[in-house]
Structure 1
Amino acid sequence: MDLNWNDQLAQSAWWLLRAFFITAVALAVSAALLARFTGWGRKFWRLAWPYLTPRRSWRPLLTVALLLFLAMFAVRMTVLFSYWYNGFYSALQALDQTAFWHFLAIFGVLATVHVLRTLVDSYAGQAFDIHWRVWLNERLTHDWLDGRAYYRGHFLDQPVDNPDQRIEQDIGLFVAGTRTLAIGALSAVVSLVEFTAILWGLSGALAVAGLEIPRAMVFMVYVYVVIATVFAFRIGRPLIRLSFLSERLTANFRYALVRLRENAENVAFYQGEGVERATLRERFLAYVANLWARVYRGLKFDGFNLAVSQVAVVFPFLLQAPRFFSGAIKLGDMMQTAQAFGQVQDALSFFRTSYDTFAQYRATLDRLSGFLDANEAARALPAVTAEDHGELALDGLSVQRPDGRPMVIGLDLRLLPGQALLIKGPSGSGKTTLLRALAGLWPCAQGRLRRPLGARALFLSQRPYLPLGELRGAVAYPGLAGPQDDARLADALERVNLGHLAPRLGEAADWSRVLSIGEQQRLAFARVLYNRPAIVFLDEATSATDEGLEHALYRRLRADLPEAMLVSVGHRGTLDAFHSHRLELDGTGRWSMGPMEETPRREAA
C-alpha cells in the first residue's frame, strides 16, 4: 500500500492539470447548455455573463479559474488522505512503529498544505463575492433608476414587490449561492469519479439470492443513493415555493414597519395605533404561517437525509466485514473503503442534501430576474418625450386617467422666458397629473412637448424630498455642493427666512424629520435660488405656508430669477399677481387658457 501511496503522490501534479481542464470545459459546456435549453439557466446567464465576460475584464474569469483549481486541489487532497488512512491503519495493524511515525510525518505535511489551501480558497472566494456583489449592485441600481423605472414601475399591471430587498439582500444571496453551489457541484462530480475508482479497486464480489455481483460495493452505493435522492426530491419540492414566499412575506412585513416609522406623526395624530397594530400583526402572521410550513417540510426533508446519512456510516462495514474477517483485506483497506464509500455517498448526495439551498437559490434567481423584467417593462411604458428648448411649448397634449377617461384633451400652450402660468381647477381635475406628464412620468399622455431639460428644469412638490446627509446637500439637490459653496447656500437660505439654518450646513441628519413641512417648502425655494433653473414647476409648493410668507417667497423668486418660467398649481387667489397666464381644467378634458388679466381666450373639448 505504501507503493500505491507513492504512486498517488507522484501523479498529483498531472492529475490536477487534467482534472482542472476537464472540469473547466465541462463547466463551460454545462453553462452554455443550461442557458440555451432551460428557463432558469437563461435567467442565470442574464445576471452572470455581463460580469464574467472577458470583453469587460479578464479578472473575474481568472478568479473563477483559481477557485476551480483550488476545488480540484481539495479533491486531490481528500484522495491523498484516503491513501494515508490506508497506510496508517495498516501500519497500526502490523504493529510497524517505523511506518507509524512515517505516516504521522506525512500527515503533518498534508495537514499544513490543506490549511493553506483552505485559507487561500476562503479569501479568493470571499473577494470574488465582494467584487461581483459591488458590480451587480451598481448594475441593478442603475437599471432601476434608468428611465425612471423606480417610479414608472408603479403603473405596471403587476408592479414588482420590495425592490429594496431585491437589491440589498437578493444580490448577496445570488452571488454567494452561485459560487458555493457551482463549485460544490463540480467538486462532487470529480470526487465521485475519483472515489468510485478507489472503491472499485477495494470492492469484492457479493452473493445475493444465489447471484454473485462483482464489485458489489460500487453498485450498492449507487443504488442506495439514487433511491434516497428520488425520495428526497419528492419530499423537498415544496421548499422552492415556500422559500420564494418567505422572502416576499419578510419584505412585506419590513416595509410595513418602515412605513409606520416614516409616517409616525400622522399615525399619532390620528391615534391609529390599533389599525397599524392589526396591519403589522396580519403581515407578521402570514410570514409565521409560511415559516411553520417551512419548518414542517424541513423536518421531513432533514429527517430523511439524516437517516440516510446515518445508515451510510455502517453500510460499507457491513459489506466488507466478511472479507476483512476472512483475511482478504487488511484494516487499512477496511478504513479506506469506509472513507471512499462516504465520499462517493456524499458526492452522489450533494444535490439531495443541497436541495433546500437550491430551492432558495432558485427563488432568489426568479426575484432578481423578475426585477429586471419589471424595470424593462416600466421603461417601455409610453410617455411624452420632451424636446430640449428654451421655451415651454405644448402641441395637442392629451392626458388620460389609467382607466382611459380624459383629463386634458388637445392642450396647446406656449410660455416664453420670464412668463408664468398658474394652473387651476377643482380637486381631481388633473392639475398634478398634467405636471407629471410634463415631467415625462405619466404613461397615459400623448402630444408634443418642448421645454428646458436636465438641470435647467426643477419640480417642486407639495411635500419636498430631502435626501439623507448634510444640509448643504439637501439645499443643493439635485445639484451638488461642497464647503466652498456654503456662502451661496447660506445666502439662499437667508432669502427664504431660513438663515438660522446656515450654521448647520455641514450637519448630517434626516432633515425631513428635523424640519416642519413649512420649513421644508421654504428650503425647496432656496433650492431653486441656488440651482437657478430656466423653468420651475411648483405643485402647491406653498400649501403649508401662510399667505404672507407665500407672497414673500414668490416675490423673491420673481425678483431673483426674472427670466425663469414658472408653472404653478394652486388654489389661492394670492398667486394670481405673480403669474402672467392662467390655465383652468375641469377634469373632463376641457380646458381654458388666457392671460391672467383677461377673459380666457380659448376653450377646447
Structure 2
Amino acid sequence: MGSSDFFIQFMRLAGAYWHSEDKATIRKLTLALIALTIVQMFIAVIITEWSAALFDALEQRSMSGFFRQIGLLILIFAASMAATGLHLTVKRRLQIGWRAWLTDHVTNRWMNKGRHYQITHLQTAGHDNPDSRIAEDIRIATEDGIALFHSLFYSLLILISFIEILWTLSGVVTLDLGFIEMPIYGHLVWVALIYAAGASALGWLIGQPLSQTTNIRQTMEANYRFSLVKARESSLAIALIHGETHEKKHFQKLFQDIIDAYHQQTHAWAHILLFTSGYSVLSTAVPVLVSAPRYIWGTITLGALMQSAQSFQHVASALSWPVDNMALVAQWRASVERVLSLIQALDDLEDEIVRPDPHRIVLVKTDKPTLRFDNLCISRLDGIVCASHITDEIKAGERVLITGNIFTGSKLLKAIAGLWPWGEGRIELPDDEYMFFMPPRPYLPTGTLREAICYPSSCDDFSPAVLTETLELVGLAELIEQLDQIDDWEKVLPREQQQRLGVVRVLLQKPKWILSETAFDSLDPEGEAEMMRLICQMLPDAAMLTISNEPKAEMFHQRRIVL
C-alpha cells in the first residue's frame, strides 16, 4: 500500500470516530488536548528564557537575581505539573475512547450474520487471525496513533516557536571570504535546519526496512498464537491419537518463523539505533560548539549562549521527529494496515454477498409455515457442484431425515442459515419462526454451567426447577451440582455429555424448527435413539430436518431426502 493510499484510508478510519454519535465529547477532548499541547509549548519557551536569566544572574554573581529565578522555577514547576497531568488524562481518554469505538465497530461487523464464519472462505488475504487484529492491532493503531500525532503536533509548535527565538539570538554573523565579507542572518537556524534535515533524510533511508520486517514479525507472532489456541481447543483429539509429536514439530516450525522474522527486525533496528545513538551524542554538543565562539569573543552573554544552545536543541529535536519515531511509526503503520485489511476483507465479503449473481443461493422469507427448496443447487467454493435440482417442501411439524453425503448435508443446513451462499436456486423460509440449529458439537461458552446451557438466552428465562428436570430427562443428573461452577466446559465435559447438553438446550428453547447435523454421533445407537425419542415426545409439533446415517434414526422421521 502506497503512502498516499495509506494516509487516505487511515484518515477515513479516524474520521469516522470524530464524526460518531459521541462526536461532541470527542471534539471537546481533542480541543482540550490541542490547548494543553500549546500550553506545554509555552512552558518550554518560558523555561529557555528562565535558563537565560539564571545564567546571566550567575555570570553577574547577582544573589537577588538568583533567588528571583528560584521563585520563578517554583511557578514553572507547578504549571508544568498541572499541564502534564491534565494532558495525560485527556490523551488517555481519547486513546481508550477511540480504541473502544473501533473495537466495537470492527467486532460488530465481524460477529454479524455469520460473517466471522464466511470470511474464512475468502480466497484473498487480510482476514487471517482476526482475533489478533481486533485485540492487539486496534490497540496499537489507536493508542500509538494519537501519541504519534500529538508528538508531531507538539514538534511543529516547538519548531515554529524556537526558530523565531533562535533567529533573534543568532544576530548577524559576517563571513569573511578574503575578497568579500558576507553577512549571514539567523545562522543558527540554518545550521539547525541543515543538521536536522540531513540527519532525518539519512535516518529515514536507513530505517525503511523496519516497517516491512515489523509487519512480518507481527504476522508470524499471530500465526504462532493462533496455532497454540487451536491446539488447546483440540487437546482431547490430539491426546487420543497421540499427535503431540506432530504438534511440537509444528510449533517449532512456527516459532522458527518468529525467530527468523525477529532477526530480520533486529538487523533493521540495529541500523537505526547505530545512527540515532550517534545522532543523540552530537545533538548535545553541536549547539554549544556552534554558539561558543560568539561567547568567547564577548558578543553574547552566558545566558544567551545557553538559551541559544537550548533553542538549537529544541529545533533540531523537532526536525528529528521522523528519525526519533521511526520504529514506533513502523509498528503503528503495520498494525493500521492489518486493521484496514480486515475491514477491507469484510467489505469484500459484503459486496460479494449482496452483488446480484446467478451462482448464489437466494433466501426468501415468506408467510407460509413451510421450508421450501426450489431447484436448489449447492456448490463448493471452486464451483464444483455437490448437489443439484433439489426441489422439496417441508411442512410445519414434519420430520425429514437427510442421508447420503453428510458433508453436502452440512452445506445444506448452512445455506438455510444464510452461511453458505455458493450455489444456485432458492430457499423459502417461514418468516418470524425461530430455527434451532444443532451442530455436531454445541458451543459452550466459558462461565457457569447454567449460563452455558441456557446460551444464547439468559438464565433468567428458565426456572431452576425446569433446568434441573431437563438435565435429569437427558441423563445428566450428575451435572446438577455443578450448575453454578465456572469452567471451560468444552474442555471439561466429554463430547457425549456435550451433545446431551445440546438436547437440554433445544428442550428449553422449544423451537418450531429443529435442524440437526450429526448432533448425536458420539453416542451409541441406543443413546442416539433415546435422544431422538425424547425430542419427539417433548416437542411433538416441531418440524425436524436431521442429517444422520444412523439406521435407527429413520423410525423417528416420516420420510427422507438422499443427497
**Structure 1 residues 155, 75: closer, same or farther in 2, change over 3 A?**
same
Letter in 2 for 1:202: L
Would you say the 8 A contact 2:450–2:483 is kept in 1? yes
| Runs of at least 5 residues in structure 1 that lack an aligned partner in the other structure | 1-34, 586-605
Deviations 1:538-582 (A, max 9, x none): 111111111222122111111111111101111111001100110
**Quick check: 546-555 or 189-198, which moved more?**
546-555
Q: Structure 1 residue aligned with 2:326, among 355, 379, 389? A: 355
1:373 corresponds to which residue?
344
Does residue 321 (structure 1) correspond to residue 289 (structure 2)? The answer is no
Q: Structure 2 residue aligned with 1:202, among 169, 172, 175? A: 169
Report the secondary structure of 1:402's partner residue. coil
Q: Structure 2 residue aligned with 1:235, among 206, 222, 229? A: 206
State the alpha-carbon separation in 1 of the partners of residues 202 and 7 from structure 2: 25
Q: Structure 1 residue aligned with 2:224, among 253, 257, 273? A: 253
* Offset of residue 445 of structure 1: 2.2
2:391 corresponds to which residue?
412
* Offset of residue 56 of structure 1: 4.1
**Structure 1 residues 200, 170: closer, same or farther in 2, change over 3 A?**
same
Q: Structure 1 residue aligned with 2:187, among 216, 220, 241? A: 216
* Offset of residue 58 of structure 1: 0.3
2:375 corresponds to which residue?
396
Report the secondary structure of 1:392's partner residue. strand
Does residue 561 (structure 1) correspond to residue 507 (structure 2)? The answer is no
Letter in 2 for 1:514: V
1:300 corresponds to which residue?
271
Q: Structure 2 residue aligned with 1:532, among 483, 490, 510? A: 510
Please show how residues 75-154 of structure 1 align to structure 2 within 5 Å: 75-154=41-120
Aligned-pair RMSD on alpha carbons?
1.8
State the alpha-carbon separation in 2 of the partners of residues 155 and 208 from structure 1: 74
Aligned residues: 549
* Offset of residue 426 of structure 1: 4.2
Would you say the 8 A contact 2:138–2:336 is kept in 1? no
Q: Structure 2 residue aligned with 1:500, among 465, 474, 478? A: 478
Would you say the 8 A contact 1:486–1:505 is kept in 2? no
| Runs of at least 5 residues in structure 2 that lack an aligned partner in the other structure | 354-360
Letter in 2 for 1:359: A
Letter in 1 for 2:212: R
Would you say the 8 A contact 1:152–1:379 is kept in 2? no
**Structure 1 residues 203, 238: closer, same or farther in 2, change over 3 A?**
same
Please show how residues 21-32 of structure 1 align to structure 2 within 5 Å: none
State the alpha-carbon separation in 2 of the partners of residues 121 and 528 from structure 1: 54
2:257 corresponds to which residue?
286
Q: Structure 2 residue aligned with 1:185, among 144, 152, 157? A: 152
Would you say the 8 A contact 1:459–1:537 is kept in 2? yes
Report the secondary structure of 1:513's partner residue. helix
Report the secondary structure of 1:146's partner residue. coil
Deviations 1:45-68 (A, max 9, x none): 232222211654300111011111
Q: Structure 2 residue aligned with 1:548, among 522, 526, 539? A: 526
* Offset of residue 75 of structure 1: 0.5
**Quick check: 117-126 or 37-46, which moved more?**
37-46
1:441 corresponds to which residue?
419
TM-score (norm 2): 0.94
2:356 corresponds to which residue?
none
State the alpha-carbon separation in 2 of the partners of residues 313 and 298 from structure 1: 23
State the alpha-carbon separation in 2 of the partners of residues 568 and 191 from structure 1: 71
State the alpha-carbon separation in 2 of the partners of residues 90 and 328 from structure 1: 14
Does residue 57 (structure 1) correspond to residue 23 (structure 2)? The answer is yes
Give the share of equivalent positions with the same residue, in percent.
28
State the alpha-carbon separation in 2 of the partners of residues 46 and 152 from structure 1: 25
State the alpha-carbon separation in 2 of the partners of residues 394 and 524 from structure 1: 27
**Structure 1 residues 209, 536: closer, same or farther in 2, change over 3 A?**
farther
* Offset of residue 483 of structure 1: 8.2
Letter in 1 for 2:69: F
Letter in 1 for 2:380: R
* Offset of residue 505 of structure 1: 2.1
1:165 corresponds to which residue?
132
TM-score (norm 1): 0.88
Deviations 1:213-261 (A, max 9, x none): 3321111110111111111111111111111111111100111111121
Report the secondary structure of 1:482's partner residue. helix
State the alpha-carbon separation in 2 of the partners of residues 365 and 395 from structure 1: 45
Would you say the 8 A contact 1:384–1:437 is kept in 2? no
